[in-house]
Copies of this chain bind each other. A is one copy, B any other.
Amino acid sequence: MRNVTEDTLTKAVLDTISDDADPRFREIMTGLIKHLHEFAIETNLSKEEWLGAIEFLYQTGKKTTRNRNEFILLSDTLGLSSMVDMISSRGDDDATAVSVLGPFYIEGAPFIKNGGDLIKNNAGQPTLVKGCVTSTTGEPISNALLDVWQNAENGKYSNEDPDQDDDNLRARLNADDDGSYSFTTIRPSPYTVPEDGPAGVMLEAMGRHPWRPAHIHFKVSAEGYQDLITEIYPEDDEYIDADAVFGVRDSLAVEFKATTSEAEATRYGLKSPFLTVEYDFRLRPL
């Protein structure tokens, strides 16, 4: 190994992986080492640039806590998270597209009844969300669990805003036997990803904006089906085609439609007019 050169170094590193290593770990590390080395060679990475990258990672580590993961934010803003989502959904065209989980999910949101309300004291445009949970072949799934979370009119999630209750705009509900679900909420707001850390520095240096289009997060689960993690976006959002984390898919951009149905207004305790979103979730079997 002592006569290693730029041309033979990659193989020398790969050769150190033991034959006894887990085959999948070997596959991943082989890909990682090859791409790291090719990246350095193709960009003629200098020692000073390497040191700059090391300092950037140092700062990223310092900024990261269990509640604020700057590594995830880098993965999101570089499109890696969406790439992993797309890879895991290959050949899955009949299922609802997945989208990024994001950093604001909290397990254990309070249960509300199907048809229940998330608006409570929130300002914002009242919105009825309704639809059906089905299999990829369109058959209704009974009693699917929907875990829902979104931000408030000021653009903030409850876990980044001391003025909101911890559970604000978060709930779990069970769909009916026929797969139908509904709840009332407010229209979510576009917002910026956190800019006060290394990811913000990177976006600034790339000349990129930090905005995400508004969205409602869903985690939909049912026995015999794969968990679906996704987001739906108002199709008329200003940032619908410029999401800083590349989470939007055509099929996830939906109309928040002005509605004047007095029957529904009465049924859901809303004042007319309000917005209605209709969205069906199609789950992939296990």
Contacts and interface: CB of A to CB of B under 8 A. Distances in A.
Which of the four size classes fits the interface of chain A?
Answer: 35 or more
B21 A206 contact: yes
A47 B90 CA distance: 13
B60 A205 contact: no
A41 B246 contact: no
B9 A79 contact: yes
A88 to B, nearest CB: 5
Contact of A83 (B9, B19, B58, B85): B9
Interface string A62-79: 101000010110010011
How many copies of the chain does the oligomer comprise?
Answer: 2
A197 to B, nearest CB: 12
Interface in A42-67: 42-47, 49-50, 54, 57-58, 60-62, 64
A271 interface: no
A242 B82 CA distance: 39
A193 to B, nearest CB: 13
A54 B71 contact: yes
A85 B44 CA distance: 11
A206 B22 CA distance: 8
Interface of A: 1-6, 9-10, 12-13, 16-22, 25-29, 31-33, 35-47, 49-50, 54, 57-58, 60-62, 64, 69, 71-72, 75, 78-88, 90, 202, 205-208, 233, 240-243, 246, 248-250, 252-253
